[in-house]
Amino acid sequence: MLLQLPGQRQLDLSQPAVMGILNITPDSFSDGGQHLSPAAALRQAEQMLADGAMILDIGGESTRPGAAAVSLQQELDRVVPVIEAIRQRFDCVISVDTSKAGVMSAAVKAGADMINDVQALQGDGALACAAELNVPVCLMHMQGQPRTMQQQPQYDDVVVEVIKFLQRRALDCQFSGISKDQLILDPGFGFGKTLSHNYQLLAGLEQLVKLGYPVLAGMSRKSMIGQLLDIPLDQRLAGSLACATIAALQGARIIRVHDVKETVQAVQVATAVRYGVKA
């Protein structure tokens, strides 16, 4: 399973790849305020790549529950200098975590290789922009909007409904000119889901995998771990590793995390179980 990147490059997803989270925000739920300057972001990027990350996901707007929106210019000012700095320094896959068409365009021009959109290209101009940019796109499911998504989310069957939404959205993208082999699907753990919904989705993740698209799973340090185990953010590593391992065992091809080194090791074990050990 190869993902076509700009410049005739490819990302091999025949086995799971770890995506390191790099938030250039003051208010992200886990690492907000830690990497606001390009220099600080560059140090963190270097560490995550050394720890085994295959992809760096750069975000300039928090999508945590209750998060306030930021302006286009604010988001550009946060992410573009960081993407430029990383691209100049490292030969790695760079993802931009945004829902704004203007940020998508500027980020790809600055050196980003792919788009990670929590709104699945439903924002103004996003679908047309992504099609024109001709880069891979991750489509995520979210019920509601970040500020309100955790206010009593409801489903008749969360697994079926998430799969149907993502399947329909993937087809919409293909009709708009984005090729199937450039699409990645993300069920959106923690985005408009209760604790029970999240674990139903994790248990049924292989049903989404069977659609044939690479699946991204992001559960690192999220409240689905904190609520279940009744522990704060700084104690969620073990739960995050358990979630990453389960996702990889079910066929997820991209695991999005904060703790790269530990996750790479856990995913290597899961990969050996699912895909075998290379002689």
The answer to whether residue 109 is catalytic is no
Domain of residue 15, residue span: 2-275
Q: Which of 222, 236, 261, 274 is catalytic?
A: 222
DSSP 227: H
What CATH number does the domain containing 172 carry? 3.20.20.20
Q: How confident is the model at residue 32 (pLDDT cuts 50, 70, 90)?
A: very low
- CA 245 to chain CA mean position, Å: 16
What is the pLDDT, as a whole number, of residue 26? 77
Q: Which of 256, 261, 274, 278 is catalytic?
A: 256
| Cα–Cα dist 38/243, whole Å | 31
Q: Does residue 185 contact residue 170 with C-beta atoms inside 8 Å?
A: yes
Percent share of the chain, pLDDT over 90: 85
Average pLDDT estimate for 39-61: 96
Q: Does residue 233 contact residue 34 with C-beta atoms inside 8 Å?
A: no
| Cα–Cα dist 274/276, whole Å | 6
The answer to whether residue 222 is catalytic is yes
Give CA angle at 213 (102, 259), nearest 5°.
70
Q: How confident is the model at residue 27 (pLDDT cuts 50, 70, 90)?
A: low
Write out the two tokens for 97.
Answer: 């975590």
Condensed to tens digits (0 to 9), the pLDDT of residues 162-183 reads 999 999 999 999 999 999 999 9
3-state secondary structure of 110: helix
Provide the domain count of the chain: 1
Condensed to tens digits (0 to 9), the pLDDT of residues 201-216 reads 999 999 999 999 999 9
